[in-house]
Amino acid sequence: MKIVALVGSIREESFNMRLAKFMQDRYAEEMEMQIADIRSLPFFNQDEENDPIQVVKDFKELIKNADGVVIVTPEYNWSVPGVLKNALDWTSRVERVFMNKPVMPLGVTPGMMGTIRAQLHLREILSAPGIQARILPPAGNEVLINMAGQKFDEQTGQLNDQSTIEFLDSKVKAFIEFVKVQRG
């Protein structure tokens, strides 16, 4: 199963990137996960949507060929970061590569709320007419990792909180089943 991960943080020591890499390694036998480079995408420009530069074409092709998408986002000012919104805007125009694509949103924060507001906004964006992704139903499937400084090892950067890992295992399993059902 081919999965593409979009990480909404471009910070060097991003907890969200650490989580994506953890998932890439931990679930390698269940899914081949590639982390997309969204930092190299130019700002969305409707003047260029019909013939975007190659990096945009490659990004859209990556999403198109994936069986599903994992979106790992921090929360900036109660919403998703601009770099992630920009990537989603590119996918919503002309060839709409997210259409009916299974998506699992999740996020990490050093704070208490665990990216809940960002994920609510992300779900709205993913439901927009130009995107219309198939989002893993939220009931019991939200992955809102809070207090990141206590759950990631300072030396290795790895997620090391056992209860969080077990919870994540169950939600990734639910997502894999969701993707299989969506593929038919």
CATH of the domain at 145: 3.40.50.360
Contacts 24+ apart (CB under 8 A), 49-52: 49/90, 49/93, 49/94, 50/94, 52/90
Instruction: Round to whole Å and give the CA distance between 56 and 42.
Output: 8
Residue 103 is predicted with a pLDDT of 98
- Residues forming beta bridges with residue 33, ordered by sequence position: 3
- Residues near 45 by Cβ (< 8 Å), separated by ≥ 6? none
Residue 139 is predicted with a pLDDT of 83
pTM of the model: 0.97
pLDDT tier for residue 114 given thresholds of 50, 70 and 90 = confident
- Residue 146 CB: number of other CB atoms within 10 A? 17
pLDDT at 183 over 90: no
Structurally, the chain folds into a number of domains equal to 1
Q: Residue 65 sits in which domain range?
A: 2-183
pLDDT at 113 over 90: no
